[in-house]
Structure formats: structure tokens, C-alpha cells
Structure 1
Amino acid sequence: MTVEATTKSKTPVSFPCSGCGGPMLFDSGSQSLKCEYCGKEDPIENSDQLPIEHDFDLRETDGPELTDWGMRTQTVRCEQCGGESLIPQMETSARCAFCGSPKVLVEEAAASIRPETMIPFQVTLEQATASFHAWKKKRWFIPNEFKRGKIISRLTGIYVPYWTYDSETASVYSAERGDYHYRNETRTRVVNGKTETYTERVRYTVWRRVGGHYDYSFDDILIPASVRYDGGLLEDLGNFDLRKLTGYKPEYLSGYTAERYSVTRQQGWQKARNRINETLRANIREEIGGDEIRSLNIRTQYYDRTYKHMLLPVWNANYTYRAKPYRYMVNGQTGLVSGTVPRSPWKITFFVLLCVIAAAAAFLFFSQYNG
């Protein structure tokens, strides 16, 4: 398989090599800036500044203190998929980082909220390629030609944007709680033409009205701020280890693409609130107890809401197999792979037939055994 890393034609003017003047790019192996020509490495000082959690007041505009990325950026928009990314102003991009299309245009930069924290890339391009090789060999029902063949893909390192939200909640709830009780009832039945009496244990439900207050604190609800990908692919990448978060530094972006968020703070909060409500509903049902619950009504107030913007590392790739497009992604921190692959209709048909034959054989066996 041949994997082509996305390259840029110019270097960010803010990170020149002090030795030869060449481009200094972030190296995930050494976690430092490394010169592309002479190999000189410059360490990146860890940020000791704690992330700031901003009040969520639904403002549409933000001051320069929230939108300063530490470098001059420009917005690149793909005409084919609509994806928007931020790259240093002196750089150019020949292809879209999301779908690989060459139809990209530089647009007037719009103010974007700077990330508070990020996880720098830990997995190299070579490691991401090896992870994909191992992953595709384990897929079921894929064509043998695809499993053993060479697939040309374009692998791009992208920092995917996320929002995190904190909120205090105060809920008032009411419901009907049902508790199971049992009693013995005398009944009659006809056996061999004779009526006989027997006792049967019968369950019944006692309902009673309940209500109360429930307070709960939510911290760092993680919401993807991108609509460029299938949400399932991001979910399948696994959980990032947020304990490894570090303060944002523009040096970590050198040589990579930072996606501009396409989910606003307000839209992200709506998704976070849905998760909050699901958690509250489950917690309140547990607090009510009982065997059944009906007519549950919850009214919740949200206060002390704050948010942060962060970037998480993902290797993104697009490839074509038999004229059909596919995509895979590699977690830039752990190397876990998620993606879509071609399916072999022959293997699927053969598997279904085997299942039908096995089910029919089992049915015949049990039918004869019972007979």
C-alpha cells in the first residue's frame, strides 16, 4: 500500500530553523519542532497555564483574546465537500484535507475561537499506515484482492475540533412508581374432563405518586465540533485520554491542518444538553427505584455553564476501490483505526447460506428429538 502524506509548498514564517533557515515542523516522535532539512530539533516548552473555562452566554461575537491563535491564519474551503480548515497565512494547500479534492479556495479569514487545550500527535505517519495495514487484514467479508492488494490513499494529519461543556443542574421531578406484589389466587381448570381447583401465584402492581429534587454537576462533556465526518467513525476511534491534554501552542500545528469548527457553541450546547438530560433521566429513575415507572416528568435548570474549545489529533485518509470512495481514520494518540471498507457479495452470500443451513439442521434435529 502506498500512503502519500499531504505536504505544503511553503513553511510557516513563525517557525524557521535557527540553523539553516528551513521549515520547522512538529515531530510526533520527539514531541519537538524538527527541521525538515538539517534535522535540528527545538523542544517545545510545556504550557503551565491552566485552561480557561469561559462563561457560556451565547454571544455571537468574541473579542481578540478568544480568537488569537498565536499565528496569522487563513481559511481554506473545499468546493466539493464544503470542509473548512485553518492554515498559516503564508502556506498553500493543493488538496482538501477531508475528501482529497483539488478544488480548494482561499477565503477571507473569519474570527474563530482559539482552542484552550489540545493533544499533540503521538502517532507518526508510518505508525498510522501500519495500523491501517493490520486493521484491514482483520476485516470480515472484504474482497481478497483488497485485503492483499495495494491501495493508494492520501493520509493527512488533522486536528479535529471539540467543545467541552460544564454545567450545574437543578431538577424537579414527578412520577408514578410501581412496586410488584404477589398474592395466591384460587382458580379452576378442566383436566381429562374433570374440574379441579388449584392455587396460582399472581403478580400485581401498586402505584403511588412520587416527586423530589435532584442536583447534579456535569464536567467536560465532550462534543465533536465537526460535521465533516460520519459521527460513527469518530465514535469508533475510541476515547481519547484527556489526562494528556496540554495547553494550546501554535508550534504543535506546524506541518498539520487544524479543522475549523463547523458546529457552533450553541449547536454544541444543544447536543451536550441532550446528553445531560439522558443522564439525568437515568439517574432520577434510579433514585425513584421501584419495579416500574410511568408518567415521569423532569424540569431542569442549567446554570454556571462554561465551555472550552480543544483540538484532538486524527489521521484522515480517503481512497477509491473499484470507482467507489471509502474513508478511514486513525486516532493520532492511540493508533486505533475506524473506517469503511468494500464488501464481497460472494462472501456475504456464502455466509448467509451457511447460517440458513445451520439453522435448518438445528430445527430438524430438535424436531426429531422432541418427536
Structure 2
Amino acid sequence: MGVIVYKCINCGGPLAFKADTQNWTCDYCLSEFHEQEVRSFINNEQAEAEKNTEIAHELEQEFQENAVGYSCESCGAEIVTDDTTAATFCYYCHNPTIIPRRLEGEYRPEKVIPFQINRERATELFINWCKKKPLLSKQFTATSELEKLSGIYVPFWLFHCSPFGEISGDATKVRSYTRGDTRYTETKYYRVLREGKAIFRDVPADGSRKMDDELMSVLEPYHYKDLTDFSMSYLSGYLAEKYDMDQNDVYPRVSEIMRKNMSTLLRETINGYSSVSVKRTDVKLKNVEATYVLLPVWMFTYQFKGNTYIFAMNGQTGKIAGKLPISKGRASAWFGAVSAASFAALMIGGQFIW
């Protein structure tokens, strides 16, 4: 049975019941409380303790469910991963670790594009990209920072479908001509209608909640001719994630992209008019299929003045995307140099503009 200790509401010291006053008194701050105050305080303390215990239990349960430990076969260190990590490496000896059962059954990818850019080349491309950014902090490309560059196989869904679409609207043809001393403008009005079919293949959508959808989309396109049958061997030495968003989760995002693209294709067939105003669009997506694949991405996360910046590189083509932190010192120096150069050019030309 637990021991109950009555504590002072004001200072936290022990309370003692005084028989003469029938109240509780603190010998440290000399505060005095009647029975109802003490009971109310105790009830609040117990409720808070129970709440904290419940939260701690939930966090422990979540950790037990999602965090899994593995022993490194090389050095014996404990490797802890979450429930979506399929491949990682030991942070002590860098021995690659693949977790096969994370990619079994429905989580086994059909295809993979292997990394075609190694770490050394990725670092070189990243540094060259940064050199073209004059306002970037020099610390950004420090060796210690670039060690955080990680190769990750990101889960993607590639959608294929055969859309059928219709668009209709109004169009005009305007012609101007002159007869004698009079200038005429002739406007003809038309009702336009277009319909057609198309085939869309390999429309991508990342299947990881951890990844920034916009960042992943900027890395496109991948060359899907390099897709090969999935093998665990491709994961060795890299990180890998399994999807936590299935094809139904990402379909609304992809279907919107395919509908817009189909509408654009139909709109581009309306030519020869002075103006076109589309009034109605109807696109139906048919024979929709999805293929689960892993695509290579080099990721780099950078902390700068309390903000987190995430950068990504297409591990096949080397295309880079991300928002850069601006160094105020370098920005001031750069703008100062630009201003000085502009001033010199204007003086040579005999002009000075404020």
C-alpha cells in the first residue's frame, strides 16, 4: 500500500494536523489550511499523477509497438528503428543492416531504381550547387555538416491509367479589315467541344508521411526505364523506408494531377481561335493500377538559427531541391558589392541614380 504524505500548498513542506485548531499547519512557512483545502489539493495532485502515469504508459506502449531493436552483427551495438525503416546502418561501425520482414508480403516493392550517384559524387554535386548561391552560409557546406548526407530509398506509388475526357466552351475569331476610309472589326462566336483518350504511365506519388510531398515532386522526373526487379541487395549501405500511405491514401493527390494533365492535353487541341473560354471539363480515370517501387534520394537536413532546412537530391539524375538559409552577413556583403559595381558603372557612364 502506498504512503500518503500531506504537503503544504504554498511551499511543498510536510503538513501536520493540529488537534487544538483542527487544521493542518506547515512548520516551514507557518501556513494553515482547513480540511477542505487539503482534500482539494490532494485530489488535484492524485489526478495529475494519474494523468502523468497514463501518458507515460501510452508513450511506452507506442515505443514498444513502433521502435524495434536489432543487434549489429559486426560490433554488437543495438540499432533502434521505427516501424517504417526497412534498411539502415550501424552508427558505430557503419555495417549495413537490412530488416527483411519489413519488406515482406504487401510491403515488398515490385521494382526499384538503384542509386546511380554515390556519396562522393552527391557531395560534389551538392557543393557545386551551393557555390552558385552567393547568400548561403559558409557553414552550410562544412565537412561536418555534409557527413549528414544520407542515401534513402523512398517508397513511391507509380500510377497507370487510361483517362477519357471532355471539355467544352466558347471561342471567338476576330478579324479586322479596312474598306475605303472605314476600319471594320468582325467577331465570330463558336461553341467548341473536344473529347479524347490518353494513356498515363508512371505518375508518381511518394508513400511516406515523413517526406515532404512538394520536395519529392520537385525531384522528378526519374527515368523509369531503369526500373529493375526488387532485390534486397540494392538496399545494402543505404537507408530505406516502407510505405505508411497505401495507394488509396495517395490516390486523391495523384488523381487530381492526372485530371489536370488530361484537361491540359484537350485544351491544347483547340487552336486557331482569338480567344477560348472553357466552361465545362469532365475527366474519367479508367483502368487505374498502381505499382509499389523504391526510388533513390540523397537527403540532407540542416539546422540554422533555430530553423530546420531539408534538401533532397535525385539519386539517379542528381537534380537538387530545397530552400536555402540566407546568411545576413554574406547578404550584406553581396548587396554591397553589387551596389559598388553598379555605382562604378554609372559613374563611368556619367550618371548617378539614387
- For the 8 Å contact 2:202–2:224, the answer to whether it is kept is no
Separation in 2, partners of 1:286, 1:271:
23
Q: CA deviation at 1:168?
A: 1.2
Separation in 2, partners of 1:205, 1:262:
56
Matches within 5 A, 1:169-180: 169-180=163-174
1:10 to 2:72 alignment? yes
Match of 1:121 in 2: 115
Q: CA deviation at 1:251?
A: 2.1
- For the 8 Å contact 1:153–1:319, the answer to whether it is kept is no
**Matched residue of 1:287: which SS?**
coil
Matches within 5 A, 1:74-153: 76-77=81-82, 85-87=84-86, 112-144=106-138, 146=140, 151=145, 153=147
Match of 2:96 in 1: none
Separation in 2, partners of 1:295, 1:261:
39
**Matched residue of 1:141: which SS?**
coil
Report Cα offsets for 1:48-107 as digits up to 9, x if no partner: xxxxxxxxxxxxxxxxxxxxxxxxxx9943xxxxxx62336xx88779xxxxxxxxxxxx
Separation in 1, partners of 2:90, 2:86:
8
Q: Which amino acid aligns with 2:226?
A: K
TM-score, normalised relative to structure 2: 0.61
Match of 2:150 in 1: 156
Q: CA deviation at 1:147?
A: 5.5
Separation in 2, partners of 1:283, 1:228:
33
Matches within 5 A, 1:302-341: 302-341=285-324
Match of 2:263 in 1: 281
Q: CA deviation at 1:247?
A: 0.5
Q: Which amino acid aligns with 2:293?
A: M
Matches within 5 A, 1:224-235: 224-235=206-217
Q: Which amino acid aligns with 1:167?
A: C
**Matched residue of 1:154: which SS?**
coil
Q: Which has the higher strand share?
A: 1
Q: Name whichever of 145-154 and 176-185 sits farther off.
A: 145-154
- For the 8 Å contact 2:84–2:244, the answer to whether it is kept is no
Separation in 2, partners of 1:203, 1:356:
54
Separation in 1, partners of 2:296, 2:194:
43
Q: CA deviation at 1:241?
A: 1.8
Matches within 5 A, 1:193-212: 199=182, 201=183, 203=185, 205-212=187-194
Q: Which amino acid aligns with 1:286?
A: E
**Matched residue of 2:265: which SS?**
helix
**Matched residue of 2:288: which SS?**
strand
Q: Which has the higher helix share?
A: 2
Aligned residues: 265
1:300 to 2:283 alignment? yes
Separation in 2, partners of 1:343, 1:277:
38
Q: CA deviation at 1:130?
A: 2.9
Q: CA deviation at 1:203?
A: 4.7
**Matched residue of 1:288: which SS?**
coil
1:222 to 2:284 alignment? no
Report Cα offsets for 1:175-215 as digits up to 9, x if no partner: 112222224489xxxxxxxxxxx75x565542221224322
- For the 8 Å contact 1:169–1:301, the answer to whether it is kept is yes
Separation in 2, partners of 1:128, 1:115:
25
Judging changes above 3 Å, is the alpha-carbon distance between structure 1 residues 205 and 267 closer, same or farther for their aligned structure 2 residues?
A: farther
Report Cα offsets for 1:266-291 as digits up to 9, x if no partner: 23222222222222222222223222
- For the 8 Å contact 2:86–2:103, the answer to whether it is kept is no
Match of 1:342 in 2: 325
Higher relative contact order (CA 8 A, sep 6+): 1
- For the 8 Å contact 1:75–1:110, the answer to whether it is kept is no
Q: Which amino acid aligns with 2:261?
A: T
User: Which among 147, 161, 166 is matched to residue 167 of structure 1?
Assistant: 161
- For the 8 Å contact 1:170–1:216, the answer to whether it is kept is yes
Match of 1:263 in 2: 245
Report Cα offsets for 1:235-288 as digits up to 9, x if no partner: 443522211110011222233322222433123222222222222222222223
Q: Which amino acid aligns with 1:115?
A: P
Which runs of 4 or more aligned residues in structure 1 lie more than 6 Å from their structure 2 counterparts after TM superposition? 91-95, 108-111
Match of 1:34 in 2: none
Q: CA deviation at 1:310?
A: 0.7
Q: Which amino acid aligns with 2:303?
A: T
- When the two chains are superposed, the root-mean-square deviation of aligned CA atoms in Å is 4.0
Separation in 1, partners of 2:119, 2:268:
46
Match of 1:56 in 2: none
- For the 8 Å contact 2:89–2:237, the answer to whether it is kept is no
Structure 2 portions without partners, runs of 5+: 1-69, 93-101
